[in-house]
A and B are shown apart, each in its own frame.
Chain A
Amino acid sequence: MGALIVLLTTLFLQTSFGPIAVTYEPTLPAIVVEGLEIGQGDSIDQRISVYFGELNESVLMPELIGDYRKEGHKILFRPKYGFVNGAEYTVVIGSTLGRSGRYKVSVPAARNDPSAYVANIYPSTSALPMNQLKFYIEFSKPMRFGGAAQYIKLYRMPEKVLETEAFLAMSEELWDPEGKRLTVFLDPGRIKRGVQPNLQLGLPLVEGRRYRLVIDKKWTDYKGATLTHDFVKEFTVVAVDRESPVPDDWHVQLPDAGTKEPLQITFNEVMDYGLLHSTIVVVNMENKRVNGTIQLARNEQDWLFTPNRPWGEGKHLIIINAWLEDLAGNNLRRKFDVDLNNPNDTPKTFKELKIPFVPIKQKL
């Protein structure tokens, strides 16, 4: 008889309260518990506990902190620091009536649509010297750091053979502060003559061959979304360049005073993309730096500087740091690969190159 009463009571309780439903409501957003009666004097958080992730019986995890609220017949829970897309939550409902249960709730993963892409790879020319030193990979958005090497593939064409030893292993990735530009070095040990990797493997690129550099779209941006598409750069390899750039062979195109025409330097060869942005400044007669924007043209063989304000009159200076390099790492001061027995290879001593100019005075 006693057992029957218990059974009837249980049935009655279950039918009168109905089943408990626990769902995630994205529009609120909140975890919503329905069908749970909270008696007078019962506090909600004594009846419901929410945990982040799945509960593991062997490890006691603290409860997720948040706010419980009763709205009509529903109980709403909002974590203090918000929900995480793609995460699971476990709701444990305990009861003085012996009804208890565990409910899993999933928050859907955010649609993390790819939007970032490789904007360009520099050098942009498709003919690179055999001793090409580095590439700059420029992205449209900041990227997630770490593991870059797995997304950069160099293939020898047309066989499409993967070159596995071409790049310098990156112990620290060389990102710009914004996380949008990565500098990747071809293994300098293979480029510099006479050192072990060079002797064993030779130069990473071979003259006359064609290569395909592929940036895998699986690379993720700072939000974790992949790239919109692979980026492919094909190039052929030309002769080694073991000469420093020759300033005597450069041309400077002067702007008119009173205009914002660009000042232009045309180099005798293609120069390093990154250094063209950081090694050249223009100062005016008062020895003050002229502010402006740098543009590059003809595959980084032309440097164009447009001042923010019209050119003044009088003597100006272009100051070029001697660290400015060509594609093969030869800077104005010394060659990348120095032959110690060759007196012509002795590094020069100057720190910067100064080119004076006077913006052209317009005739009235």
Chain B
Amino acid sequence: MKRITIVLGVLACTSLSFLSGDALEKEAHEGTFIYGTPNIRSMSKLTFGPDGILFLGDSKGASVYAFDFKDDKKPSSAAPIDIRDIDQKIGALLGRPRKDILIHDLAVNPISQNIYCTVSYGGSNSRERDIFDPNYLNDATLLMKISPQGKISEVSLEGVYYNQLKLSGAFTPSAKWRSGRSKNTATIRYLVYDNGQLYISGLSNEEFSSTFRVAQFPFDQQHSTTGVEFYHGAHGQYETSSPINTFIKYQINGQQHLLAAYSCTPLITIPLVDLRDGGKIRARTVAEIGPGSHPIDIRTYRKKGEEYILIANSKRGLIQMRPADLAAQRKSINYPTSRAGVHYKTLIPGSHIRQMDNLNENYVVLLTKNKREGFDLTSLNVNTL
């Protein structure tokens, strides 16, 4: 709050009378930004906040960065975007064969419709190029931008306006899974901004390592940390150590919730009011979508005035849920089962989807595996779903 007050003081001397409420908020976050070059260790997840502010997760650096690239001009049209062999094209720009290009995450700026992605170009030691855990195969070091016209460019992070939120309770690099991989690769697993709050799923070194952290934006260098426990029917037990892969904020039966999914694929809900700093919550398991698959992104879309929930999955394609069916699932699933709970419809079967975001009100954009051992960027008209 203090910083905002200072900024308002400056504004009062200049042009306060011309600023609307939105503009005030914008000026407020600008006051907290600094100009410089951030020292990012491992780029991972992306999401957009207000006014084209980009949030970027750095799991190994246990930080979230907010960038103000002034990317807030509306595009001339709300056209779809389709780029075949996007990985090969990014490779051509960077001077690397496609096999070395990994796309770690993708997010659409809701104002400009520029698509941002985190990219690494060193390949991985395995032949694997599918990214489910953003820092698993490699650390992304580049931020790329794809314009609505399909122009690909690198976004320089030298000399930019940014702010850094340091996350507490991250695992040290020596904490490892049985596979030998460091748990600090999952400090940040997913980011969602909503109404002045940044929600961060991932791991912490607390008793329940599965964690939601919530921070105010503009950052005040504090965040709450809440441990999450849930019943996983496919494993027949309560679990506390897996990170939440993807989530959205969603209103269910008149109450604000987080709707979240884990690998293997339980879908859970958590009332927002239950997220308390230092607390532990038992989430409600509302569906088991099936084992052997990773949920990738959850989004909503509207068609003929009706809202739907979309979940993109690594092995179960694109599925759709109706809010009414979600609201009707009042009981938690707490018995062994691999398929149960909220009814869903498979819109696109298959195991080719790797990223999803809303492009505009008519389209969602997907990153999909193609038959040339590469990836395509394709748009899907939601009115045809």
Interface residues, chain A, with chain B CB atoms under 8 Å away: 51-53, 59, 61-66, 79-84, 87, 142, 144-147, 176-179, 222
Give the docked Cα–Cα distance between A32 and B179 (Å). 47
- A141 CB to closest chain B CB, in angstroms? 12
Asked if B93 is at the interface (CB within 8 A of a chain A CB), the reply is yes
A residues less than 8 Å from B126 (CB atoms): 144-146
Give the docked Cα–Cα distance between A172 and B94 (Å). 31
Give the docked Cα–Cα distance between A177 and B126 (Å). 12
Interface of A is mostly: loop
Contact A66 B125 (CB under 8 A): no
Against A, the Cβ 8 Å flags (1 = close, 0 = not) of B304-333 are 000000000000000000000000000000
B residues less than 8 Å from A52 (CB atoms): 91-96
Give the docked Cα–Cα distance between A66 and B95 (Å). 9
Contact B92 A144 (CB under 8 A): no
Against A, the Cβ 8 Å flags (1 = close, 0 = not) of B123-140 are 001111000000000000
- A119 CB to closest chain B CB, in angstroms? 19
Ordered nearest first, which 6 A-B pairs have the shortest CB separation? A177-B180, A145-B126, A146-B127, A79-B95, A61-B92, A62-B93
Residue in A closest to B181 when the chains form the complex, CB atoms? A177
Contact B181 A81 (CB under 8 A): no
B residues less than 8 Å from A53 (CB atoms): 92, 97
A residues less than 8 Å from B121 (CB atoms): 81
Sample of 14 further A-B pairs with CB below 8 A, known A62-B151, A146-B128: A52-B96, A59-B85, A62-B93, A64-B92, A64-B93, A65-B94, A81-B95, A84-B97, A87-B95, A145-B125, A177-B179, A177-B180, A178-B180, A222-B125
- A223 CB to closest chain B CB, in angstroms? 10
Total number of B residues with any Cβ neighbor in A under 8 Å: 23
- A180 CB to closest chain B CB, in angstroms? 12
Give the docked Cα–Cα distance between A66 and B171 (Å). 38
Contact A87 B97 (CB under 8 A): yes
Asked if B30 is at the interface (CB within 8 A of a chain A CB), the reply is no
30 sampled A-B residue pairs with Cβ under 8 A: A52-B92, A52-B93, A52-B94, A52-B95, A52-B96, A53-B92, A53-B97, A61-B92, A62-B89, A62-B151, A64-B93, A64-B95, A65-B94, A65-B154, A66-B95, A79-B95, A81-B95, A81-B96, A81-B121, A84-B95, A84-B96, A87-B95, A144-B126, A145-B127, A146-B126, A146-B127, A176-B180, A177-B179, A177-B180, A178-B180
Residue in A closest to B180 when the chains form the complex, CB atoms? A177
Q: Max chain A CB contacts within 10 Å: which of B92, B96, B151?
A: B92
A residues less than 8 Å from B34 (CB atoms): none
Contact B94 A81 (CB under 8 A): yes
Asked if B7 is at the interface (CB within 8 A of a chain A CB), the reply is no
- B97 CB to closest chain A CB, in angstroms? 7
Give the docked Cα–Cα distance between A63 and B96 (Å). 12
Q: Max chain A CB contacts within 10 Å: which of B94, B121, B152?
A: B94
Interface of B is mostly: loop
Report if A142-B125 is in contact (Cβ < 8 Å); known contacts: A61-B89, A176-B180, A177-B181: yes
- A349 CB to closest chain B CB, in angstroms? 22
Against A, the Cβ 8 Å flags (1 = close, 0 = not) of B63-101 are 000000000000000000000110011011111110000
Give the docked Cα–Cα distance between A179 and B181 (Å). 12
Give the docked Cα–Cα distance between A215 and B181 (Å). 27
Give the docked Cα–Cα distance between A82 and B84 (Å). 25
Report if A82-B125 is in contact (Cβ < 8 Å); known contacts: A61-B89, A62-B89, A176-B180: no
A residues less than 8 Å from B85 (CB atoms): 59
- A58 CB to closest chain B CB, in angstroms? 11
- B293 CB to closest chain A CB, in angstroms? 16
- A39 CB to closest chain B CB, in angstroms? 28
B residues less than 8 Å from A179 (CB atoms): 125
Give the docked Cα–Cα distance between A59 and B151 (Å). 14
Residue in B closest to A144 when the chains form the complex, CB atoms? B125
B residues less than 8 Å from A81 (CB atoms): 94-96, 121
B residues less than 8 Å from A83 (CB atoms): 95
Contact A80 B127 (CB under 8 A): no
Considering only residues 141-186 of chain B, those with a C-beta below 8 Å from chain A are: 151-152, 154, 176, 179-181
Contact A51 B92 (CB under 8 A): yes
Considering only residues 32-59 of chain B, those with a C-beta below 8 Å from chain A are: none
Contact A63 B125 (CB under 8 A): no
Residue in A closest to B178 when the chains form the complex, CB atoms? A177
Residue in B closest to A142 when the chains form the complex, CB atoms? B125
Give the docked Cα–Cα distance between A118 and B97 (Å). 29
- A172 CB to closest chain B CB, in angstroms? 10
B residues less than 8 Å from A147 (CB atoms): 127
A residues less than 8 Å from B125 (CB atoms): 142, 144-145, 179, 222
Residue in B closest to A64 when the chains form the complex, CB atoms? B95
Give the docked Cα–Cα distance between A84 and B98 (Å). 12
Residue in B closest to A65 when the chains form the complex, CB atoms? B93
B residues less than 8 Å from A176 (CB atoms): 180
Give the docked Cα–Cα distance between A66 and B125 (Å). 27
Residue in B closest to A145 when the chains form the complex, CB atoms? B126
